[in-house]
Amino acid sequence: MSHTTYDYVIVGAGTAGCVLAARLSEDPDVRVALLEAGADEGPDEMASPDPLASFGLWGSSVDWAYSTTAQPGTGNAVHAWPRGKVLGGSSAINGMVHHRGHPAGYDAWETQGAAGWNYAELLPFFRRSETAPGRDPQVRGTDGPMRIEHTPEPGPLAASAFAAAVAAGHKPLEDGNGRQAEGVSWRETNVVAGRRQSAADAYLRPVLDRPNLTVLTRAFAHRLLVDDGRCRGVEYSVAGQRRTVVAERETVLAAGAIGSPHLLLLSGIGPADHLRSVGLAVTADLPGVGANLQDHVTSYVVYGSPEPPQAAGPSAEAQVVARSSADAAPDLLLLFVGAALHPRWTGADPGGFSILFSLMDPASRGTLRLHNGDPTAAPLLDPAYLTDDRDLDRLVAGLRLARELGRTDPLASRATAELFPGTDVRDEAACRAYLRSTASTYFHPVGTCRIGTDELAVVDPELRVRSTAGLRVADASVMPSLVSAPTNATVLAIAERAAHLMRTTSDA
């Protein structure tokens, strides 16, 4: 096998990997290699600014097309988990939402053992990642790669949704990513000049001509090369040909909440009993690898409407950050969508609108495990949806909040009928049954390599893998728990901070 040597080797060119490659290669004396299993480009739909166009990318060449195990908490349903397999990763196929969520979600990380990972510590890195013209420069970025354009002029339905949220008692916010996060705001999106802006568009493509940056696409990582407790690099293949790449300083996993723990396990780093059960030698017994899997769980209330179909392209949509009860932290996100969504993301019709409600800090925890020792076999993904009854209780509260918004004018006057769950679903038992039959992923798995200092933590607060020198993880897998927003903006900040840490706490 041929091999090449760099200072840093990054596995995964998704949101985090693009940030890391761009930031680390700013130093011309540092050689950086970025490995991506997917291609450098994808279908034309990847450029569409319409979030619903993402449906057309599922199962395509740019999707890993994962799925969960059967979930008892949702009627034994198997849930599709699309994840990006292309430069930009999931930021190239997601709903393009740019949202930080409430600071309490980040402060909770520190209380769970992630020392130094709170909202105040992350704020400079949120700001570093973005350019948000017209917003408060004390909390929003002024010169970062991700450009946040002004919200498009809302259409009549969107304006009615925002007004209804205010009438229902939700505080109107000028900037949902600003100093206050609880209330109703206009959703920000990663759309620039009428086109999707992925992390590859913002961070990576502008610097591809750097002589010290090598991007290897269609490079499928098989295992980490660990020698005497130190990660030396990565074994990968291109078109069936095995190769190795050597990291003189550090290897960084940025393959996401699925890819990063999967590669650790394939390399013998994880729970010893599980590794032996699939025939793999144990390199390091690290029981937290693949544990703590969690995901936002969501459902919707859907209304018929005589409104004309929403025009394709960027649109203003209202979102609400709320609480399931007075003594809870903000744990619900409601989003208005100008289409009649089918349950479990099976489609959308133009003749109506939906109020999506999501539980943003579920108590349920699942696992990622190997099916076998074959690197090409998809891992077993069990998010354990709604296995903790507290999650269903809070999701019922979300359903009630969504219905309250749907009954409030001026939005109520634009609806012809409640299509889902329907007027016959009213009492507690019926609501719980509806949620078990419709609840699904909001596409935000995290937590499988969490930050901490206890025995189940996978990385320390500097993101170094606890059992192996020369190895870090920097992506959504390190999040101890979810935050009250889609995770792409959070991953940008994690990766920005990771690049900073690597410059100041080198594990060479």
The enclosing domain of 177 has a CATH number of: 3.30.410.40
Residues 271 and 333 in one domain: no
Question: How far is the C-alpha of 184 from the C-alpha of 195, rounded, in Å?
Answer: 26
Q: Which long-range contacts (CB under 8 A, 24 or more apart) does 407-411 make?
A: 408/164, 408/165, 408/167, 408/168, 409/164, 409/167, 410/160, 410/163, 410/164, 410/167, 411/160, 411/161, 411/163, 411/164
Domain count, the chain: 2
- Residue 49 — pLDDT band, cuts 50, 70, 90? confident
> pTM, whole model, 2 decimals?
0.97
Residues 11 and 114 in one domain: yes
Cβ contacts of 208 within 8 Å, gap of 6 or more: 215
Asked if the structure places residue 19 within a domain, the reply is yes
Residues 208 and 95 in one domain: yes
Residues 8 and 84 in one domain: yes
Residues 114 and 216 in one domain: yes
Question: How far is the C-alpha of 50 from the C-alpha of 124, rounded, in Å?
Answer: 30
Residues classed as catalytic? 444
Nearest residue to 72 (alpha-carbon basis) of 290, 344, 388? 388
For tokens 């010290």, name the residue.
212
Residues 256 and 349 in one domain: no
Other C-beta atoms lying within 10 Å of the C-beta of residue 342: 16
Q: In the chain, what is the straight-line distance between the N-terminal and C-terminal CA atoms, in Å?
A: 25
- Residue 115 — pLDDT band, cuts 50, 70, 90? very high
Residues 98 and 222 in one domain: yes
What does the pLDDT look like over 287-344, one tens digit per residue? Answer: 999 999 999 999 999 999 987 766 655 678 999 999 999 999 999 999 999 999 999 9
Nearest residue to 86 (alpha-carbon basis) of 175, 186, 15, 5? 15
What does the pLDDT look like over 1-45, one tens digit per residue? Answer: 456 999 999 999 999 999 999 999 999 999 999 999 999 998 888
Residues 237 and 290 in one domain: yes
What does the pLDDT look like over 400-409, one tens digit per residue? Answer: 999 999 999 9
Cβ atoms 334, 402 nearer than 8 A = yes
* 192 sits in which H/E element: strand 191-192
* 50: CATH: 3.50.50.60
Tell me the angle at which helices 488-504 and 119-129 cross, rounded to the nearest 10 degrees.
100
Amino acid at 484: S
| Angle formed at CA 502 by CA 501 and CA 505, multiple of 5 degrees | 75
Residues 332 and 394 in one domain: yes
Whether residue 243 is predicted with pLDDT greater than 90 in this model: the reply is yes
Cβ atoms 89, 46 nearer than 8 A = no
Residues 22 and 54 in one domain: yes
Residues 91 and 15 in one domain: yes
Nearest residue to 222 (alpha-carbon basis) of 71, 425, 1? 1
Asked if the structure places residue 174 within a domain, the reply is yes
User: Among 189-203, 223-237, 382-396, 494-508, whose mean pLDDT is lowest?
Assistant: 494-508
Question: How far is the C-alpha of 119 from the C-alpha of 103, rounded, in Å?
Answer: 5
Domain boundary among 417, 438, 459: 438
Range of the structural domain that residue 305 is part of: 152-186+297-359+386-438
Asked if the structure places residue 91 within a domain, the reply is yes
Residues 9 and 20 in one domain: yes
